[in-house]
Amino acid sequence: MSEASKTNLLGLTKGAMEAFFEGLGAKPFHGRNVLKWIHKHGVVDFDAMSDVPKALRRTLHEMAEVTLPRIALTQPSADGTLKWVIELVDGQHVETVYIPDDGRSTICVSSQVGCALDCSFCSTAQQGFNRNLDIAEIIAQVWLATRELGHPPTNVVMMGMGEPLANFDNVVPAMELMQEDLAYMISKSRVTISTSGIVPALVRLREVSDVSLAVSLHAPDNALRDQLVPINRKYPLEQLIPACKAFIANDKRRKITWEYVMLDGVNDSIAHAKALIRLLQGVPSKVNLIPFNPFPGTAYETSSADRIEVFRQRLKRAGIMAITRKTRGDDIDAACGQLVGRVKDRSRRHLRRIPIVQEQRP
């Protein structure tokens, strides 16, 4: 059998692995054992899997493989953050970020090569879009991070390059592997998927997964959000907010995390804060205020620390949990909105930009 026709076991969930081994005439438990070897023990050589029968190992050499991308570059930040540039088999590149914080370890995982959603304040979006990552390429980022760190991360956030819900059929099984007891054993509450608001996919996600949800909001009204987050023109706030509320409806302990990048003179006034309070009324919420992280060619500037704090205090007085996110990894372009990889743009999104009107200060 040619290498191209072999099955990459790295991207198989437990159910898919069991089915694959049954197709080989083996018992399902052999599939579970191999899954454990690959993800929990980091072993990709079939001959090193001591509880797999020799005859089955020979069959695996003929029918299967464990193919991983490689870390092309490791960039350490002064604050302990690490950024890995991952080279995929086809030569494309994505970026994965490790963020240590008080005994916790968070891995920020990419789901696409580039991004097609064209959010104007995001460096990834300015690179355009090439393709979706497959299941193996998504989970490989966790596999590589686990091997580099010597332990699995305590948290995974699908907040790297790309819009995860635009790659639904690959992201959901990858998140299942992250939570699998035979693999990384990450709690569902510690796996977070971030979306800009693809409402039909969000409704579908609710039916198959109960991971944590973060939403890239960035504006409290449709007019401004249409400019900052163009997917809002298709799925406006009147659709997005109810879908988010429904996502956590069966668990009173859960909240939606709203990501709100602070752009000087664009979305950071008291009037914006008041509009945001009205928008989130009745929705269990946590708001992450994110100081804008600049990138080459951007026209935006980050709001001042004082302005962000006034905004935060206004939300807090209204009973909304609001946190100013500490910028991490900005010295290596690893902070929120700065990931770029190397994208051969097939979308030509960069040719269709809409100017943003900034607030005029007295």
Residue 353, Cβ density class (10 Å: 0-12 exposed, 13-18 middle, ≥19 buried): exposed
For residue range 55-113, list pLDDT tens digits in order.
999 999 999 999 999 999 999 888 889 999 999 999 999 999 999 988 889 999 999 99
Give the confidence band of 158 by pLDDT, cuts at 50, 70, 90. very high
User: How buried is residue 179: exposed, middle or buried, by Cβ count under 10 Å (0-12/13-18/19+)?
Assistant: middle
| Residues paired with 99 in a beta bridge | 106
Please, which residues bridge with residue 258 across strands?
Answer: 215, 287
Position 361 scores a pLDDT of 40
Enter the tokens of residue 152: 């699995």
Is 336 one of the catalytic residues?
Answer: yes
Q: What is the mean pLDDT of residues 216-230?
A: 96
Please report, for residues 234, 261, 324, the alpha-carbon distance to residue 229 in angstroms, rounded to integers and kept in the order given: 10, 11, 21
| 95 catalytic per annotation | yes
b/e code 272-282 from CB counts within 10 Å (16+ = b): bbebbbebbee
Q: What pLDDT shows up at residue 193? A: 97
- Pick the catalytic residue from 115, 119, 122, 336: 336
Strand locations in the chain, DSSP E?
7-8, 64-65, 70-76, 82-87, 93-101, 104-108, 112-114, 129-132, 155-158, 191-195, 212-216, 256-262, 285-291, 321-324
Structure token digits, residue 321 = 């949990």
Domain spans, the chain: 3-65, 70-351
Reported CATH class of domain 3-65? mainly alpha
Looking at 95, 137, 163, 259, which residue is catalytic? 95
**pLDDT tens digits for 228-281?**
999 999 999 999 999 999 999 988 889 999 999 999 999 999 999 999 999 999
CATH for 70-351 is: 3.20.20.70
Distance, C-alpha 133 to centroid of its chain = 12
CA–CA separation, 125 and 163 (whole Å): 10
CA atoms within 13 A on the CB side of 224: 21
> Which of 72, 66, 147 shows the shortest CA–CA distance to 107?
147
**Residue 361 exposed, middle or buried by CB count within 10 Å (0-12, 13-18, 19+):** exposed
Q: What is the pLDDT of residues 113-141, one digit of tens each?
A: 988 888 888 877 667 788 999 999 999 99
Of 244, 45, 16, the C-alpha closest to 134 is 16
